[in-house]
Amino acid sequence: ELPNGCRAGELLHALADRAYGGAAGRVSALLGVCRVAVGDSYVDLDYALQPGDEAAVIPPVSGG
C-alpha cells in the first residue's frame, strides 16, 4: 500500500526501497528505464495514483 496522493514515480522509488539486501541499487537502475501503466494506459511519473488504481511496471521491450 502507498500513501494517498502518491505519484507514479514515487511508486517506483517505493519498489526500489523494498528490494531485498543489496539489490536496491540494481532494482532502482532497472526501474529507471521502466514505464508505469495504470489500467490500460501509460502514465507520466507525475500522475497521481487514485485509490483502487491498478498499476503495472512495464520494462523496456524490443521485438521484431
The answer to whether residue 8 scores a pLDDT higher than 90 is yes
Cα separation, 46 vs 52, in Å, equals 18
Count the Cβ atoms, other than its own, within 10 Å of residue 28: 15
Mean pLDDT of 31-37: 91
Find out whether 39 and 50 touch, Cβ atoms under 8 Å. Answer: no
Q: What is the pLDDT of residue 38?
A: 96
Helix pair 24-31, 8-17: axis angle to 10 deg: 160
Identify the residue with better confidence: 29 or 23: 29
Q: How far is CA 1 from CA 6, 45, 54, 56, in A?
A: 10, 18, 11, 14
